[in-house]
Structures are given as structure tokens and as C-alpha cells.
Amino acid sequence: MDIKIAPSILSADFVRLADEVEEIKAGGADYVHVDVMDGLFVPNITIGIPVVKSLRKATDMFLDVHLMIDRPHRYVGKFCDAGADLVCFHVEADEPQDILAALDEIKAKGKLAALAIKPKTPGSVILPYLDKLDMVLVMTVEPGFGGQKFMADMMPKVAQLRAMLDEVNPDCELEVDGGVDTATRDACVNAGANVLVAGSAVYKAADIPAKIKALREG
């Protein structure tokens, strides 16, 4: 699979958000990663549906919306309607029947569906849902804040999930999020990830196009 770069706007300047998204588009980014946090599932509060709506008006880039919220089945449809291209939520945040219903709702709205797993969650929990997914997201930091240190011990889980996906759903993308930079991208790609979320690595770079190119090509 081609390597895709998804800069996280959690590290962007929200006063200039539309301009910051245009900068990563011009720099060759593939996705815009939108981190939604509710202060319950994770100990931080970020943005929600109004910002996704505004982003949709401001850009034609692919909006990769990562919900770090409690009981996400309540909101997946609203994020689809707001303009998300892909809605990702955490397997730890809901009951199995609600996870299935949420995935079905995302698909019914013509959007892509993804599940995310925290560092302490085994990859095997994704098994019941593999055939319904367009992407799996492996957190390589504890979710909640940007700028954390990359957890290299998550790479066996990434490799395990890539092997599982190759058997059941080979077109499913595998995304890693947390501490990804040029120093850690090779480990992610070698383990089987093809979508790299990078927040501070991109937005704090002196040359954003060069940083995106380095993340993509190694």
C-alpha cells in the first residue's frame, strides 16, 4: 500500500485553521486528521461537530475524524453529516452491539468506518469487526494530548493487525497515531502501517512540504 500522511490539526494554530489546512494540502498531505476529545473518554477537550462543518466548507481534503469520546454511537452519524470522510472511534468506548450499529450507520451514510485501539488494548479485540472496517488505528501514545513520546512496543501489535487484515480484509488501511516523526516512521511502516498521523512533527517543521515528503519516503 502507498504510504499516506495525515497531519493532525491538534497541533495547528486554530486562529488560522483554514490556512493551516491549506498549507498541509500544498505540502502534499493525504488526509486531515481531526482529533475530537470529550474530557470523559480521554482527559482533554478539543473540538467537535461545528469545527468539522467549518473544515468541510474550507477544504476538499479527506477528513479523517478520530473520535476519542464516550459512547460514540450517539454521534457518528452527526459527524458524517458534518462532512467527515472517515469516522474512527474507539473500541473501548462502547458496547459490542453499539459498535456494530455505529459502523453500520457510518457505512449507510456513504462514509468510511474505522476503529481505534489504545496502547493497553490487545489487537484481537478488533477481530469481530474486521470485515466492516476501512481502517484500523493503533495508538502509539496514550490518547489525550499531542507531543507525547512514541511507544515502540506497539509495533508487534501493528504487525499482528496487518497480518490479520491481510487474511480477512487486505484493502483495509492501518494507521498509527502518536509520536510519529522521521525517526519513528520506519518502524511503523516496517510493521505494516500505511497511514501515519503526525501532528507536531509536521506543524512545527520549518519546511512542511519537506517534512511530509520525509515522512512518506523515509
DSSP class per residue in 127-188: GGGGGG-SEEEEESS-TT-SSPPP-GGGHHHHHHHHHHHHHH-TT-EEEEESS-STTTHHHH
Q: What is the pLDDT of residues 86-100, one digit of tens each?
A: 999 999 999 999 999
pLDDT on residue 208: 97
Give me the pLDDT at residue 148, please.
Answer: 76
Residue 1 confidence (pLDDT) = 82
Tell me the pLDDT tens digit for each residue of 163-208. Answer: 999 999 999 999 999 999 999 999 999 999 999 999 999 999 999 9
Tell me if residue 85 is catalytic. no
pLDDT at position 146 over 70 = no
Annotated catalytic residue, options 38, 64, 177, 181: 177
List domains and CATH numbers for the chain. 4-217 (3.20.20.70)
> Which residue in the list 35, 38, 134, 181 is annotated as catalytic?
35
Asked if 177 is an active-site residue, the reply is yes
What is the residue whose three cell numbers read 510493521? 191
pLDDT at 144: 75
Alpha helices in the chain (DSSP H): 17-26, 49-58, 76-82, 96-108, 155-168, 185-191, 200-203, 208-217
- Reply yes or no on whether the pLDDT at 147 is more than 90: no
Write the pLDDT tens digit of every residue in 19-75: 999 999 999 999 999 999 999 999 999 999 999 999 999 999 999 999 999 999 999
**Model confidence at 141: pLDDT above 90:** yes
What 3-state class would DSSP assign to 5? Answer: strand
* pTM of the entire predicted model: 0.96
In angstroms, the CA 208 to CA 213 distance is 9
